[in-house]
Amino acid sequence: MSESEVGIPPVLAAAWGLRERSGKGPRPGLTLERIVAAGVKVAASEGLGAVSMARVASELGVATMSLYRYVRAKDDLLDLMVDAAIGQPPPRQPGEDWRAGLTRFAHTYLALLRGQPWVVRVPIGTPPITPNQIAWMDHGLEIMRDTALAHHERLSAMMTISALTRNWALLTADIDAAARGGGISTEQAMAGYARLLKLLADPVRFPAVGDLIASGALDNPDEPADDDFEFGIARFLDGLEAHMTRRKDG
C-alpha cells in the first residue's frame, strides 16, 4: 500500500452506487439515473451523434452545465449509458450445457446490441468494469463453471465471444446505416458492396478475392441469417471442445 493508493475513479463510484451525499447543500434536482436515461433515449431515437451535453440537458429541461454536477465529462456519461443499455444478463438456464449456454449467450448479446446499435459505436477506453458488464461477464463465466477450462481460459473465451459479437453487430449496423442513408434496403446495400468489390478488386492482382467473387458467395442476400457470425462462434466453440477433450485425455 505504498504507491498504489489510488482510489476508485468517480465514474465507477457512481456506476456502482457508491456516491455518499454529505447531506449539505441544496437538494439535487436531478439524478444520475435520469441523466443516463435521457442520454439513452436520445441515442436510441436519434443516434449516438445526436448525444451532446446540450441535447441531453434540454431533454431534461435543465441547463447544459448542470449535468457536470453529476458527471465529470461526456465520456463518463457514455460509459454509464452503455452500462444502462446492456442491462442485466438473462438468468442461467438450469439444464443447459456449456456449449448451448455460450451459444445462447452470443445470440442474446447480439440481439441486445442489434436493438441499440449505438452501443457498439461508443468508443471504448478501458477494460469493462461497470456493474452490468461485470454481470454479463459473470453470466458467461458461470456457464463455463463445470468445464475443464482454466480460469484465464474462461476469461479469454468470454473476450472472444464478446469481440465477435460486437464486431458482427457493428458491421451489420454499418451496412444498415448505409442502407438507410441511401434510402435502400439492407439487401441492396449488400449487393452494392459486392458490386463495388467486383468493380475495384482486379482478379489478377487479387486472385483469391477474384475466386471469392466468382464463387458467387457474395451474390445471395442471405444476410439476415447471420451465417458468418454463426460460423465464427461455432468454430470457436468447436475449438474449445477439442481443447477440453484433449486436456481430459492427455
Partner DNA sequence: AAGTTTATGCGTACGTTATACGCAGAAGTA
Partner DNA sequence: TACTTCTGCGTATAACGTACGCATAAACTT
Site residues (vs DNA, CB under 7 A)? 21-30, 50-55, 62-66, 68-70, 73-75
49, amino acid identity: G
Q: Least distance to DNA from the beta carbon of 145, Å? A: 41
Q: Please list the alpha-helical segments (H only) found in the chain.
A: 10-15, 32-46, 53-60, 74-86, 98-115, 131-143, 151-182, 186-200, 207-214, 227-249
Among 30, 129, 148, 179, binds its own copies (CB under 8 A): 129
Could you say whether residue 183 binds its own copies (CB under 8 A)? Answer: no
C-alpha cell at 165: 459479437
Q: Least distance to its own copies from the beta carbon of 41, Å? A: 22
Stretch of 26-34, 37-45, 96-104, 136-144 lying at the interface with its own copies (CB under 8 A): 136-144
Q: Least distance to DNA from the beta carbon of 49, Å? A: 8
14: how many CB neighbours lie within 10 A of its CB?
A: 20
Nearer to its own copies, 59 or 226 (CB): 226
Q: Least distance to its own copies from the beta carbon of 32, Å? A: 16
16, amino acid identity: W
Nearer to its own copies, 39 or 232 (CB): 232
Nearer to its own copies, 38 or 172 (CB): 172
213, amino acid identity: I
Query: In a 3-state reduction of DSSP, which class is residue 51?
Result: coil
Span 218-247, contacts to its own copies by CB under 8 A: 227-228, 231-232, 234-243
Say how far apart CA 51 and CA 229 lie, in whole Å.
30
